[in-house]
Amino acid sequence: MPLIDVAVPVPLRQTFTYTHDETLKPGLRVTVPFGNRQMTAVVVGECQKADNPQKLKAISEVLDTAPVLDNVQLTLCRWLWQYYHHAPGEVIHTALPVLLRKGKAAPPDDQDYYQVTAAGRALSPDSLSRAPKQQQCLALLLKERQSATALKQRFSLAVIKALTERGLIEVHRQAYTPRPQKWLSELQIASKPVPDPEQAVAITAITQKQSQFAPFLLEGVTGSGKTEVYLQAIEAVLEAGRQVLILVPEIGLTPQTVSRFAQRFGIDVGVLHSQISDKARLRVWQQARNGEIGIIIGTRSAIFTPMKYPGMLIVDEEHDESFKQQDGLRYHARDLAVMRANQEHIPLVMGTATPSLETLNNAITKRYQHLQLTRRAAGAQATIQQVLDVRDQPMRFGLAEGTLSLMGQHLSQGNQVLVFVNRRGYAPALLCHHCGFTEACQRCERPFTVHKAHRRLHCHHCGATRPLPPHCQSCGKAEMVTAGVGTEQLEQGLSQLFPDSPQVRIDSDSVRGKDKLQTLLDAINQQRYQLLIGTQILSKGHHFPHVTLVVVLDCDGALFSGDYRAPEKLAQLVTQLAGRAGRASKPGQMWLQTHNPSHPLLQDLIHNGYAHFARHALLERKMAAQPPFGVQIVLRAEAVDGQLAFQFLADASQRFQAVQVIGPMPGLIEKRQGRFRFMLIIQSAQRKVLHEQVRLALPEISAMPLAAKVRWSVDVDPTDFS
């Protein structure tokens, strides 16, 4: 009787062997008895020899007729569970769409289509000339019916609704039948700019490498036309009947990004991000797998989307932190993309203005081909960056007098000003002016952030919230004052100082809700606002041609952070922000407020630019044997009783040889949600040695009695030390 290895979704670092009356293909879903219940599992291979074959249980049911995971996906899953030292069942769980994890039927049963009614066909084409969008929509449907998803990508709901209500089009439901390479008959390339010489070099280099593994770093200053390079490189891939998967940061995936691709080629684009329903995700997954859609754009987990005709992978803004998952399976989608491109023998383009030091090092050492775009397209000039010394300066709402008068000048000329602050809310702390008592979250031991708009305190670490207290909890005096400045307070202060300049705040509080961000961004570019106040969100993917002044409130935190990656992150943020502002006729300037104007990092960054800074930072990492020159794995542990977490890691630290062990030490956020947090950094100059040590140690560590008493996890190639 064949012995079948399956991955069961439990947090154990092993696969499990069952019997079945015939061999089963890897990638099939099955139901197996596990403990005292039945679970959905996935076949990963055949087991040659088991110790106690007579004791093995039998597979209860085979759920699929064809595997849900293909060979490439299974190979990647195996790499993931080995490389990230993670439970195989959980890896496979992450790789599958939610509906398939639950053991549902694989193919989506039916789909909604729009088609023209008899009345619509009888209508004279001119009768809609007052509603050109409706006319276009009808014309498209007259050519061919469209799936509801595809139609909604190209036309607004209002247009579709109007036509439906007039009885010109109707929706009907039909069984789903795949149409491989459907885009080949639809492909229609819209007009495109002539690439400049650097773009042309990049496009040629990429297109020459069709059908072979070829990783590229496309390093191009913001606005230098990286997206245009992707678009022109994709063209040949689509024409050859092959598919393209594009990963973008969560915040970069706006309807505009999608329509830029959809409109250039006139074809459907599969979209995958966190706001998309499980059902819609499964459909895109199916269509990609059946080779029906040529372009798939998605955020981190889209890297697991199967492709029948793989042609190219693109990771846009490859430095973005959102590509690394920070819980469960802590994989890096960019690194997985490299593995995948290798498996599928296709090119991989990683584009950014501010490459991560890891990727830059791979380009410098020629593991990746380095393509550079040094000029901003369409003649926009680079933003001038300067440091503003705020020592001993009177400050108002976190802004120095010098900054305020500069802002006044730009605003009075009718330009837009962008103020960047790292904290949302009103103020990072509420304290008593009399006794100094600070209101803090008891579970996290961190000051509460004040949100004045709804008169509450919020903990940004655990989400705890309570009303603003009228008195000090310690001395009882009613002298509570706020400390530090957040987006809300800036907004309030600036509306007093510049009452004539309409302002808008953009942070994760103000853009909550569907399409809210896009609406605000559109309003900004139509110059309905003059003063823009915001957090990180502003630094990602959006252009602000009317902004002539960018102010960064405070860079000191990042200069002195306990996280060795903080300077890299600051430099990326500052460079991205600078790149978003200005254009040819309105060059931008950027002022960085700091108490450390002569800090070498800041000086290097503003005088020599990110590319120079990054190469210097790489040298520093090299001397400190930090990544990418050393390799790190972090063991984390947290518990209500901090002593237990500490002791667990202290015991664990005894299990490693021939590698450097640092800690246990507290996390940069020492307590979160009532638990004390510790970490142990294990590092080595050699990846092989480090991984082998961890592989050997993990079974012993899992068996320690304390392992059951604390929450612990393994983080390979950590990027976040909070």
Binding site for ligand ADP (CB under 6 A): 193-196, 199, 220, 222-228, 377-378
User: Minimum CB separation from Zn ion for residue 208, in Å?
Assistant: 53
Sign (positive/negative) of CA torsion 444, 447, 451, 456?
A: positive
What kind and span of H or E run contains 714? strand 711-716
Check residue 675 and give left, alpha or beta (phi > 0: left; psi -120 to 50: alpha).
Answer: beta
**Strand ranges in 187-324 using DSSP code E only, listed in sequence order:** 214-220, 243-247, 269-272, 295-298, 310-316
Which CB, 93 or 677, lies closer to Zn ion? Answer: 677
Give yes or no for a contact between 123 and 168, defined as CB atoms under 8 angstroms apart.
yes
Give yes or no for a contact between 88 and 11, defined as CB atoms under 8 angstroms apart.
no
Which CB, 12 or 378, lies closer to ligand ADP? Answer: 378
Dmax over CA atoms of the chain, in Å, equals 85
Query: How far, rounded to the nearest angstrom, does the alpha carbon of residue 612 sit from its chain's CA centroid?
Result: 26
Which CB, 373 or 506, lies closer to ligand ADP? Answer: 373
- Binding partner of 441, given ligand ADP, Zn ion, none, CB within 5-8 angstroms per partner class: Zn ion
Which CB, 232 or 299, lies closer to ligand ADP? Answer: 232
- Binding partner of 719, given ligand ADP, Zn ion, none, CB within 5-8 angstroms per partner class: none
- Binding partner of 199, given Zn ion, ligand ADP, none, CB within 5-8 angstroms per partner class: ligand ADP
Give yes or no for a contact between 409 and 530, defined as CB atoms under 8 angstroms apart.
no
- Of 267, 303, 300, 259, which Cα lies nearest the Cα of 285? 303
Q: Read out DSSP for 617-672?
A: HHHHHHHTT-TTSSEEEEEEEEESSHHHHHHHHHHHHTT--SSEEEEEEEEEEEEE
- Binding partner of 462, given Zn ion, ligand ADP, none, CB within 5-8 angstroms per partner class: Zn ion
**DSSP summary character for residue 522:** H
User: Minimum CB separation from Zn ion for residue 155, in Å?
Assistant: 45
Beta-strand relationship, 631-639 and 395-396: unpaired
Segments in 354-486 forming alpha helices (H): 357-364, 401-412
Which CB, 223 or 582, lies closer to ligand ADP? Answer: 223
- Binding partner of 228, given ligand ADP, Zn ion, none, CB within 5-8 angstroms per partner class: ligand ADP
Task: Assign 3-state DSSP to the chain and report helix, strand, coil percentages, each to 5.
Answer: 35, 25, 40
Q: Which residues contact 388 (CB under 8 A, 6 or more apart)?
A: 400, 402, 403, 591, 592, 593, 594, 597
User: Minimum CB separation from ligand ADP for residue 224, in Å?
Assistant: 5
Which CB, 116 or 205, lies closer to ligand ADP? Answer: 205
- Of 420, 415, 380, which Cα lies nearest the Cα of 527? 415
Beta-strand relationship, 16-19 and 3-7: antiparallel
| Three-state SS at 62 | strand
Q: In this structure, how many other beta carbons lie within 10 angstroms of the beta carbon of residue 519?
A: 12
Tell me the per-residue interface mask from 427 to 466 with Zn ion, x by CB under 5 A, - otherwise.
--------------x-xx--------------x-xx-x--
User: Minimum CB separation from ligand ADP for residue 293, in Å?
Assistant: 22
- Binding partner of 5, given ligand ADP, Zn ion, none, CB within 5-8 angstroms per partner class: none
- Binding partner of 422, given Zn ion, ligand ADP, none, CB within 5-8 angstroms per partner class: none
Instruction: Enter the tokens of residue 648.
Output: 């667990």
User: Minimum CB separation from ligand ADP for residue 379, in Å?
Assistant: 9
- Binding partner of 443, given ligand ADP, Zn ion, none, CB within 5-8 angstroms per partner class: Zn ion
Q: Look-up: residue for tokens 């050859």?
A: 240
- Binding partner of 222, given ligand ADP, Zn ion, none, CB within 5-8 angstroms per partner class: ligand ADP
Sign (positive/negative) of CA torsion 183, 189, 192, 195?
A: positive
Which 461-490 residues touch Zn ion, going by CB under 5 A?
A: 461-462, 464
Which CB, 3 or 462, lies closer to Zn ion? Answer: 462
User: Minimum CB separation from ligand ADP for residue 230, in Å?
Assistant: 8
- Binding partner of 225, given ligand ADP, Zn ion, none, CB within 5-8 angstroms per partner class: ligand ADP
User: Minimum CB separation from ligand ADP for residue 193, in Å?
Assistant: 3
Which CB, 142 or 462, lies closer to Zn ion? Answer: 462
User: Minimum CB separation from ligand ADP for residue 231, in Å?
Assistant: 8
Tell me the per-residue interface mask from 112 to 151 with Zn ion, x by CB under 5 A, - otherwise.
----------------------------------------
User: Minimum CB separation from Zn ion for residue 642, in Å?
Assistant: 16
User: Minimum CB separation from ligand ADP for residue 353, in Å?
Assistant: 7
Which CB, 152 or 443, lies closer to Zn ion? Answer: 443
Instruction: Enter the tokens of residue 62.
Output: 């085979």
Which CB, 454 or 607, lies closer to Zn ion? Answer: 454
User: Minimum CB separation from ligand ADP for residue 334, in Å?
Assistant: 17
Which CB, 118 or 378, lies closer to ligand ADP? Answer: 378
- Binding partner of 464, given ligand ADP, Zn ion, none, CB within 5-8 angstroms per partner class: Zn ion
- The site that binds Zn ion (CB under 5 A) totals a number of residues, namely 7
Residues forming contacts to Zn ion in the complex (CB under 5 A) are: 441, 443-444, 459, 461-462, 464
